[in-house]
Amino acid sequence: MNRNFHCGIAALALATLLPLALHAKTAGPHPQQLTMTVNPASAGIPVPPDFLGLSFETADVLPKSDGTYPYFRASNSELIQLFHTLGIRSLRIGGNTSDRPSVAVPNTHDIDQLFAFARAADTKVIYTLRLRDSSPRKDAPVAKYLEEHYARDISCLVVGNEPDVYEKQYPRYRDDLHEYLAAILAPGVAPDAKICGPSTTPGHPDWSNNFVADFGPTGHVLWITQHSYPGGNSKKVTDPAAQRERILSPEFAEHYQKLADSFVPAVEAAHMQYRIEETNSFYNGGAKDVSNTFASSLWALKYLYWWAAHRSQGVNFHTGDFVAAGPVETICWYGIFHTLPSGGYEIRPIAYAMKAFDLTGHGTLVPVSGLTANTRVNAYAVVDHNSHALYLTLINSGHERATVTLNPQKKYVRAESMLLSAPNGNLAATTGVALGGSGISGSGQWNGQWSRQPLDHGHLRVMLQPETALLLKLPLSK
């Protein structure tokens, strides 16, 4: 694990990030001074093109009582546009309803609607087959249909969602999975399918280590998949303001580090890869006035870069209007949108983190030194694979202003900026969020603009306001 990425700047063409001074809102005489340095020669970490993902309940694939499909149909132009706008390239179908006996298994017509949507949205699918109260005989025909009709649209198949909850002991799961895979990968069924797993709760990452040893050698495993809800149980949240501060604190990242330390070394030792297949801030549908606020946007942007820097192949945020929280269905406060009765969507603040990452996160990450672990300012940089332009993301989740001075190489002759902010810098805001001066409309449209940022003899100096994120683009000179 490379802990230098905890503070995360990446760049292939940035020489040095000069002193960064933090000023309180009422500036004091001795502002804190920080210096961050990037080594352009450092080996980078590529961000996979399908890194950004969403996760939905299997129940969302089924038609409503009137026969219409809630999300996944080729005619849902608003959600298709939203996927394109946010840069979503991975659609995971699973959640608790994938293993709930009271929820129907999607039939071939339901599956056809799902993949018509996925093709229109330009995204690949992680598809969960039922394990609980099912059988290899029941799953094999589903796998066969998926392989015969949609092999090119599928990243991998998963057998069971969070099996540690109901299988209880790993040996039982291992033995059951061997039987299921024998049926699924059999000649004439889906012999070339890729498998992901074990898709366990954050409380049992040790199952991932065992999965690596038992199923990695088969050659069928694409990713080790793990779930993560670092905030814990949303039902225990009694002070939303305190939790908004908590999810933005440097200490909150210790939860990610603990999870990563528990299973990533085994994955990397086996020369395999992993993905955070289902995640969000708090489980049980998220915490009202925390997961649906602007604080979640700044948190999610940092969270995406943290996992990218730790070589995750992607992050799928669980979403939808409702989620299956244990045995019951509950409002999804951490969702990226809320469906409006009149049509279209109300876009939640967390969606803006995905758009910001989509604008700045296509390229290669390189480590940086200088930021201390307890700072509330995070900085990340990426060199675009195609244009080689340098993209910087500066996140100030604290309550002090920051003056940032950059000294890029002389070939960067101009710079552009884009601000992610909430009205009046309010972390509790649930509406009014803007990126590049524009919100994301209910039909999925976004019209944000880059603004010209002056350079002074190659130096760039910006003021980073509290509770904001600033995106910077430095194109190569022609």
Question: Averaged over 14-19, what is the pLDDT?
Answer: 35
Comparing 256-260, 324-328, 364-368, which segment has the lowest mean pLDDT?
A: 364-368
Do residue 307 and residue 167 come from a single domain?
yes
Residues 354 and 289 occupy one common structural domain? yes
pLDDT, mean of residues 72-93: 98
Average pLDDT, the chain: 89
DSSP code at position 447: -
The pLDDT tens digits of the residues spanning 86-139 come to 999 999 999 999 999 999 999 999 999 999 999 999 999 999 999 999 999 999
468 and 347 both lie in a single domain = no
User: Are residue 24 and residue 138 in the same domain, yes or no?
Assistant: no
Residue 458 has what pLDDT? 63
136 lies in some domain: yes
pLDDT at position 390: 82
Predicted confidence at residue 379, as pLDDT, reads 85
130 in the same domain as 95: yes
Q: Which residues pair with 338 in a beta bridge?
A: 346
Kindly report, residue by residue over 418-471, the tens digit of the pLDDT. Answer: 999 999 999 999 999 999 999 999 999 999 999 998 877 666 777 889 999 999
Taking the C-alpha atoms of residue 8 and residue 467, their distance in angstroms, rounded to an integer, is 18
Q: Which of 298, 325, 360 is the last residue of a domain?
A: 360
- DSSP strand pairing (460-464 vs 195-200): unpaired
Residue with tokens 């809800």: 229
* Predicted confidence (pLDDT) per residue in 204-228, tens digit: 999 999 999 999 999 999 999 999 9
Provide the 8-state DSSP code for 338. Answer: E
The tens digit of pLDDT for each residue in 374-396 reads: 678 888 888 888 888 888 889 99
Assess if residue 447 is contained within a domain: no
Domain-terminating residue out of 339, 360, 381: 360
* Alpha-carbon torsion angle 51, 57, 58, 64, nearest 10: -130
User: Tens of pLDDT along 186-202?
Assistant: 999 999 999 999 999 99
pLDDT given at position 21: 33
State the pLDDT at residue 384: 87
321: its two tokens: 């209007």
- Give the sign of the dihedral formed by CA 152, CA 156, CA 161, CA 166: positive
User: Count of domains in the chain?
Assistant: 2
423 located within any domain:
no
Quote the pLDDT of residue 267.
98
Do 304 and 273 share a structural domain?
A: yes
Which pLDDT score, from 0 to 100, does residue 28 have? 40
pLDDT of 43 reads 63
247 assigned to some structural domain: yes
pLDDT of residue 24: 34
Q: Which of 360, 381, 399 is the last residue of a domain?
A: 360
How many residues in total does the chain contain?
478
What percent of the chain clears pLDDT 90, i.e. is strictly above it?
A: 75
Q: Do 33 and 138 fall into the same domain? A: no
Query: For position 82, which CATH number holds?
Result: 3.20.20.80
Q: Based on the fold, state whether residues 99 and 145 are members of the same structural domain.
A: yes
Query: Could you tell me if residue 415 is left (phi over 0), alpha (psi between -120 and 50 degrees) or otherwise beta?
Result: beta
**Residue 475: predicted pLDDT:** 85
Would the pLDDT of 44 be above 90? Answer: no
Provide mean pLDDT across the span 157-161.
Answer: 98
Q: Please check whether residues 300 and 194 belong to one and the same domain.
A: yes
pTM exceeds 0.95: no
Give me the phi and psi of 60, to 5 degrees please: -70, -10
pLDDT score of 2 more than 50 = no
pLDDT at 3: 42
Regarding whether 388 and 273 lie in a shared domain, the answer is no
| pLDDT exceeds 70 at position 5 | no
Q: Please tell me whether the peptide bond between 191 and the residue prior to it is cis, using omega within 30 degrees of 0.
A: no
Gap between the Cα atoms of 12 and 15, Å rounded: 9
Q: What is the domain range of residue 464?
A: 3-46+372-414+455-474
Tell me, yes or no, whether 73 lies in a domain: yes
35 and 101 in a single domain? The answer is no
Query: What pLDDT score does 415 carry?
Result: 87
The pLDDT of residue 19 is 33
Q: Do 220 and 287 have their domain in common?
A: yes
Does residue 378 belong to any structural domain of this protein?
A: yes
What dihedral angle (degrees, nearest 10) is formed by the CA atoms of 200, 86, 381, 46?
50
Residue 198: is the preceding peptide bond cis (ω within 30°)? yes
Question: Does residue 251 fall inside a structural domain?
Answer: yes
Q: What is the pLDDT of residue 478?
A: 56
pLDDT at residue number 25: 41
Q: Choose among 236, 357, 245, 331: nearest CA to 293.
A: 245
- Does residue 203 surpass a pLDDT of 70? yes
CA distance 364 to 359: 13
In a domain, 366, yes or no: no
Least confident of 15-29, 72-86, 357-371, 389-403: 15-29
